[in-house]
A and B are shown apart, each in its own frame.
Chain A
């Protein structure tokens, strides 16, 4: 019994059928309770007023936007090394979710930025890095769509993901040379004194967990769709011969 057993599509389908309802319920409960707690049962910030509550959407989506890319990188490496099709399909499935998270993070940030910074958009290093991340997702998805042969597409997108990760990281630090920041530091950290107040901390952590589970749920659903699409095209090829 090892984790690699689930690289077999049939085993993966069986397992995901069993865990999906529980995962979906858990993410719904966590997200709902975190958001309700955050929106209605936390005090207003002394400076930011009630706009501070956007944090409960902004931070979890921003976190998952980056983690989705990391997950794609890991899945791509697994595909390149061990050639498990489920892994390649999971990377493909995660990209649209990641780009949605990026867009939500950018949008909530803009809505938050208007009352706080007086502008929807500023060329700040963090904001710009997210814009760059968005372009990386776009390129990755475009490459998947451009190539018909699925194995070749999986190979090329995995290589792109690998190289893209290096350059995304380089861009993240290069933008610091180019502009001074407006964005505040990390909201949460394990080793620093300075982070958000406890009143916001607990609902925020719940929201982040919920968003993480939501991401896993959505990736599983989309991977199942991809596997079924692959089976369908295989069947169609066989019947047309």
Chain B
């Protein structure tokens, strides 16, 4: 499983892998916020945590179809499915690779972007923690959506429609944990981490079910 993770990470980092695209998309989204609502610093500070969460979520959706699509097209996925590793293990490694190349960098870049949005200094640590706790759920739920739509031609839009409602609990908990004036962010963070861990455990199994149906 480690070699699959390494391979996917390498593929994502090399040219055409789209590693930088996600981050650039996040940057542009954050840049759009002041254009859309005006550069009022107080207002920006209020909405900054939520905007960072929405931005990270949308940037994550943008890169989801890469999890299985290319391997599906050139037949690698079929070869992987016949390997001794169970299919759910392959989903686990691919989703982990997606998190390493998307969720983790998005979390890191959210701090400088938070500065652009006038994020209150007290919230920096919370934003970092909550994205760190929440992005695994985003990657794994996204992997499920990608497994469902892997056989659909031009399925990008369908994938977003399927995945977005599944992201709602993650977004609510994530945005609540960092909202300015939250009384007890710890509870939200714990719930968020629990959600992520449940996704890591259960999503590979159902995604493997969907992949197997698609490979049949």
Contact = CB atoms under 8 A, between A and B. Distances in A.
SS of B interface (majority): helix
Interface string B154-186: 010010011011101100110110000000000
B20 to A, nearest CB: 30
A158 B165 CA distance: 16
Contacts of B14: none
A115 B176 CA distance: 31
A132 interface: yes
A51 interface: no
Contacts of A132: 165, 168
A83 to B, nearest CB: 12
Contacts of A171: 165, 168-169, 172
Chain A interface, >50% SS class: helix
A147 B165 contact: no
B148 A156 contact: yes
A134 to B, nearest CB: 9
A162 interface: yes
A160 B148 contact: yes
A163 B206 contact: yes
Interface stretch (B32-40, B77-85, B118-126, B208-216): B208-216
Interface string A3-19: 00000000000000000
Interface stretch (A53-61, A92-100, A174-182): A174-182
B4 interface: no
Contacts of A135: 161, 164-165
B188 interface: yes
A164 B165 contact: yes
Nearest to A173: B169
A168 B155 CA distance: 23
A146 B155 contact: yes
Contacts of B162: 139, 142-143, 160
B161 A142 contact: yes
9 contacts: A146-B149, A146-B152, A147-B152, A152-B213, A159-B210, A162-B206, A163-B166, A163-B203, A171-B172
Interface of B: 141, 144, 148-149, 151-152, 155, 158, 161-162, 164-166, 168-169, 172-173, 175-176, 188, 195, 203, 206, 209-210, 213-214, 216
